[in-house]
Every structure is written in structure tokens, then in C-alpha cells.
Amino acid sequence: MITVIRSTLFLAWFVVVTTILSLLFLPVLLLPRGATIWLARAWARATFFGLKIFAGVDWEIRGAPPRGPVLVASKHMSMWDTLGLYLALDAPAIVLKRNLLYIPFYGWFLWKAAAVPIDRSAGAKALRKMQGAAKKVLAEGRPILIFPEGTRKKPGAAPDYKPGVAGLYTLLDVPCVPVALNSGVHWAGFRKVPGTIVLEFLEPIAPGLKRAEFMTLLETRIETATNRLLA
């Protein structure tokens, strides 16, 4: 019962903060991208403040967050992951489904912050467009964030890594930094469970590996570390 009450209080906080910031900073979309990035980070910090105060959920980073033009491939369990990684990394561009950009306010800010959209129904054509957008981000010295399973997974669920991450890794020819986390234990939809979310940056994978070798290594590193955090 206490968890439900605390989760409800956080939800109220989240809705109020998101609504106020979205309306108050709508003109920011007309300014250079740096202003939108600042706003996105302010929203994430405000969300995490309420998460700690109302729901008793804190977070910590293990390992060194990468800087510069790299590919970051993370486990994905909850909405928390996007916010946490956005704060931990240096203005990353996030690979996401194109239809998310059509969501009022949320999608507009994603677009302005230089997301890397992908239309999964377009096949190889989508990968080429994603490659072009990603290379522009790397040229700016910023990291690219991708969730290689393509969707959120519950803690302990069987992994399902999609080949898109290998295609991007091969085309971009940059190191890939795997990320493990345990966010799904503490941010389980509406229900927020007190504790500490761990975001762990793992040993980078050098560029140049064959696709199959890369996929095996990426999945092994992420899943091994994630299972350790969940245990």
C-alpha cells in the first residue's frame, strides 16, 4: 500500500513537472539545439528529484561514461533508461522509432535534440538514412545511444538483440560501449520500488569485428553484467 501511495505521488509530480516545463519552454524550440539539450537535462533532473523524494528511488553510475564519437548500446527495461543515459552521456543522439517524433511536445523536443529516427518498415533504406543522420552526430563529437533489443524488456526476460545495432556498428566504424542496468526492478511501469538503480558502463568493443562476432560479444557482456546487477 505504501508503495502505491509513493508511486502515485511521484506520478503526480512527473505529470506536473512535465506539463509546466513543456509549456514554459516551448519557445526554446526556436533557439539553437543547445537550449533544448539544457531543457531536456533539466527535465530529467527534476524527474529524478521527485523519484528520490517521493518514491525512494536513487541511482548511481559505475564505470566511466564515454565521451566523444562512440556508439553506446544499452539494455532497456524502463523509461528511466533514456533519462539516466541522457544525463550520464554528453548530449547523446538517441536511435528511436520515427513515430515517437509525432508525439506533441515530447516528440518535438526529441527532434530538436537531434534524435536518430528509424522507420523499421523501410528495411535497408531505413538503415542508410539512419547511417547518414548518425554520421552527422559523430562529426559533432557526440555519442549515439541505441537500445539493441528495440524495446523494453522485463527483468529476467529472454534477450532479443536485433541486427540493426550490428549494421550501425559496421557502417560507423567506431567503438561500441555496452551498458548494463537494473532499472526494471525499481521502475516497473506505474509501480516504483525503493532502492538504487545502477547504470554500468562496460568495457568498450573496438571497431572492426565481424557482425556475428560483435553481436555475440555485445550480448554476452550486457546480459552477464545485467544478470549480476539483478542478482
pLDDT of residue 104: 67
Burial of 131 (0-12, 13-18, 19+ CB in 10 A): middle
Overall average pLDDT of the 64-84 stretch: 95
| Contact yes or no for 199/84 (Cβ under 8 A) | yes
63 — pLDDT class (breaks 50, 70, 90): very high
What's this model's pTM, rounded to 2 decimal places?
0.90
3-class DSSP assignment, residue 68: coil
DSSP-derived secondary structure letter, 204 = P
Tens digit of each residue's pLDDT (9 = 90 or more) over 26-42: 887 777 877 888 888 89
Most confident listed range (13-27, 42-56, 112-126, 129-143): 42-56
Would you state the torsion angle of the CA atoms of residues 178, 182, 188, 190, taken in this order, to the nearest 10 degrees? -90
11 — pLDDT class (breaks 50, 70, 90): very high
| Contact yes or no for 50/10 (Cβ under 8 A) | yes
pLDDT of residue 28: 76
pLDDT of residue 96: 79
> Cα 101 from chain centroid?
15
H helix and E strand count, the chain? 8, 9
| Contact yes or no for 109/36 (Cβ under 8 A) | yes
User: b/e for 11-48, b at 16 or more Cβ within 10 A?
Assistant: eebbeebeeebbeebeebeeeeeeebbebbeebbebbb
**Length in residues, the chain:** 231
CA pair distance 98, 101, nearest whole angstrom? 6
Tens digit of each residue's pLDDT (9 = 90 or more) over 143-175: 999 999 988 999 999 999 998 899 889 989 999
Ranges of H-type helices in 56-209: 80-88, 106-112, 124-139, 164-172, 183-186
Tens digit of each residue's pLDDT (9 = 90 or more) over 95-136: 877 666 667 666 666 676 667 777 666 556 666 777 778 888
pLDDT, greater one: 46 or 137: 46
Angle, CA of 10, 15 and 20, to the nearest 5°: 125
